[in-house]
Amino acid sequence: MSKNKKQNKKFPFAKYTFLAAFISSLCCFAPIIFVLLGLASISTAAYWGNYFFFGYWWLFISIGLIIIMSMLIFYWRKQKVCTLDSVKRNRYRIINSILFSVSAFILFYVLLEIIWEMIWIYMGLTSFEELGKLLGF
């Protein structure tokens, strides 16, 4: 088996955990993506950003956690861990996979938020209005 396949076998949850964290962080920077793609105006994006972040951030995080739970269920079913006896035999592996996935999700989510904020600060922006000035709106 090649080194790359061994590495993927060791952490099969990493890519799905990163995907879940990315989807969870969409509440914060999806409005900016809409502006950059020309799908929304600055004022609309500012409204959506405030609406999503202050009203529904918990929903985005919940969706990310549901993705992680689904991924773990599909993974363990694929590994033929379907009966209570097989769950008991693999309980430490299952617990470790849950702990790894949730910890990585939190780490990726926080890093995405910090990186996004650092980009904003580096660009000298603190609001959607400043982004509009930068883009020429």
> In which residue are the tokens 């799908």 written?
39
The whole-number pLDDT of residue 5 equals 53
Tens of pLDDT, residues 68-109: 999 988 888 888 888 888 888 988 988 998 999 999 999 988
Interatomic CA distance for residues 65 and 106, integer angstroms: 10
Q: How confident is the model at residue 31 (pLDDT cuts 50, 70, 90)?
A: confident
| Global model pTM greater than 0.85 | no
Residue type, 131: L
